[in-house]
A and B are shown apart, each in its own frame.
Chain A
Amino acid sequence: MPGVCKEAKLVKDTESPEKVPGRDGYGHGLLKVCENDRRVVVCEADLADSTRSGWVRDKYPDRFFDFGISEQDMVAQAGGMARAGLVPFVSTFGIFITGRAWDQLRTSICYGELNVKFGASHCGISVGPDGATHQTLEDVPLTRVLPNMTVVVPCDAVEVEKAVVWAAGHVGPVYIRFGRAAEAVITTEETPFEVGRTEVFRDGDDVSLVACGSMVYESFLAAEELSAEGVEARVINCHTIKPLDVDTLETAARECGAIVTAEEGQVYGGLGGAVAEVLSQRCPVPMRIVGVPDVFGESGAPGELLAKYGLTAGNIAAKARELL
């Protein structure tokens, strides 16, 4: 694809990339950190096969603890394990960590500064047929508002694995969210990844598309669409929502003069909100926020849902055009 930054070391074929579920990256990451760090244990709430924590159960059974369907307890237990020197990875669907166990997350883990990592699977609307009860759309607002929390939304399965490895070595609570459905893999092992820094994946000065998770690839496709009209869009992989890479965002605002954010989450309080907070104070520019428009999701195939709720390259490009 033209315009792709060489430094990003993305896959050669960004036109028709391989598709892998983000949760597979989590499973691979867990295996890696279990292998390399004896302190790591994995906690699960009866969803081992879904979250891929089951890969640890199968390979390192003495490192795996199932708590059954009790997420509040799982988070507290992980807090206790961390206090005792282990490095627990808590796995379940995003809504159950950030919804049901939010008090434990806030008070025991974040206020108590306990070294617990969260692998939040099945985030976004692409969960699909299970419907709204299981489509986690609110987790980024719920976690980024917590002091001492790091919030990472990797753009593909390869990046999820890197985030897991980073989290194991970091001291402090870390929340990593990823999806159920197979999504485009555009990064490689060599792609730079540093929590707290965003990556510019594509150069452009007419508008900046700041995205996270699955919407990074959609932003690429949007950039391609815009390029055919003579509009060059910068594509920024904003994988760390907290702490936000304020400098890269400010530079993008100054140089492009227009920002479109895109995320598989609610339009209120997520990546869009975080970027708006920062830029309105540092470098106010016209913005558009692409996300689920303050409604709950519903059952459907992942692709259908993304299309229906506007989480598409076409919509990102349309919003960009509004700013030009």
Chain B
Amino acid sequence: MRDWAELEETCRKIRRDILVMLAEAGSGHPGGSLSAVEILVALYWNILRDNPVEPEWEDRDYFVLSKGHACPVLYAVLAARGYFDRNELWTLRKLDSMLQGHPHRIDTPGVEFSTGSLGQGLGLASGVAMAMKRLGKPNQVYCLMGDGEQNEGSIWEAGMTAAHYDLDNLCGVVDRNYLMIDGNTEDVMALDPLDEKWRAFGWNVIKVDGNDLKQMTYAYERALLEKGRPTMIIAGTVKGRGVSYMENLAGWHGKAPAKGEQVQQALTDLGFQAPWEEYKEHKFDWVA
């Protein structure tokens, strides 16, 4: 039986770690990291076959963070799962850190590809899925993209390929928070009807509340049952979810919360009371 209450609590702690990590780093991308927390927690805690102490395990499922700028949520999840020491989180973006500003597979266990240049992740993920088919292996491949990222033509090329090659071992997720750097996606470069577009490209499409752990989990499980075509989960989310002054605002795409009062307020919103720096000194489960 899944303990949904505990998983909600995990999401709360992941959000905390994202904020502390970014405040310490002084730069980075809070909005799109916070919107994707349930997407990753549902996947890593309920669905993904992996082995934190053997990241290259040949029977593992693959996760590709195509929206690489959201790496704070990935790093927080990987640390919580035991891929590397929690203390590394506080070195994000600093010189010689194993946690680069955008994911780098050479430096960080659990990172499959060096993403950050938008539009490449779905092709990379699809390539893994094609290899799994060729090798007759049952490994599943997951790819999280942004919605602004859907502007990139290379994504649609990968979409065509995955449908053409019947890659039912591939599941994409669009973090549909309706915001990009220059504003609302529909004002900058309209995407809707996004679900119809993916359906037209031959994918099985599921629309859910992307900040709902149960809905995300059921969506992933439904994707596993789909035969003959890949699945795209359009996850409706709130950019900056959990932080009162960030939610649904474009300005928090790439601006880290400032050390001190600003990050402290964010932690208060999440229900954390201790001075923000103290969270660096304690384990993941410390919730003061």
Contacts and interface: CB of A to CB of B under 8 A. Distances in A.
B214 interface: no
A68 B125 CA distance: 18
Contact of B157 (A70, A85, A108, A114): A70
A83 B104 CA distance: 13
A111 B124 CA distance: 14
Nearest to A104: B120
A79 B131 contact: no
Classify the interface of chain B: helix, strand, loop or mixed.
helix
Contacts of A81: 127-128, 130-131
Given A41-B134, A67-B161, A80 B124 contact: yes
Given A73-B154, A76-B154, A107 B117 contact: yes
Given A83-B113, A86-B134, A108-B113, A77 B120 contact: no
Given A70-B157, A73-B157, A80 B116 contact: no
B48 interface: no
A77 B130 contact: yes
Given A41-B134, A62-B134, A104-B120, A83 B114 contact: no
B127 A112 contact: no
B128 A84 contact: yes
A225 interface: no
B160 A77 contact: no
Q: Which of A65, A79, A108 is the most central at the interface, judged by chain B CB atoms within 10 Å of its CB?
A: A108
Contacts of B132: 84
A76 B112 contact: no
A107 B128 contact: no
Interface in A67-120: 67-68, 70, 72-73, 75-86, 103-104, 107-108, 111-114
A80 B132 CA distance: 10
Nearest to A107: B117
Contact of B113 (A70, A75, A79, A86): A79
A80 B125 contact: yes
Interface residues of B, number: 33
Q: Which of B58, B115, B124, B126 is the most central at the interface, judged by chain A CB atoms within 10 Å of its CB?
A: B124
A77 B123 contact: yes
Contacts of B124: 76-77, 79-80, 83, 108
How many residues of A sit at the interface, in one of the four size bands? 20 to 34
Contacts of B157: 67, 70, 72-73
A103 B126 CA distance: 18
A107 B127 contact: no
Nearest to A88: B127
Given A67-B161, A84-B135, A78 B106 contact: no
Contacts of A80: 113, 123-131
Interface string A54-71: 000000001001011010
A197 to B, nearest CB: 28
Interface string A144-185: 000000000000000000000000000000000000000000
A79 B123 contact: yes
A107 B114 contact: yes
Contacts of B129: 80
Interface in B120-169: 120, 122-132, 134-135, 153-154, 157-158, 160-161, 165
Contacts of A113: 105-106
A56 to B, nearest CB: 14
Interface string B189-217: 00000000000000000000000000000
A88 to B, nearest CB: 8
Nearest to B116: A107
Contacts of A68: 160-161
B201 to A, nearest CB: 13
List the 9 closest pairs (A to B, CB-CB), nearest first.
A80-B127, A76-B123, A84-B131, A73-B157, A77-B127, A112-B114, A70-B157, A80-B128, A80-B124
8 contacts: A73-B160, A76-B124, A77-B123, A79-B120, A80-B130, A84-B131, A85-B58, A113-B105
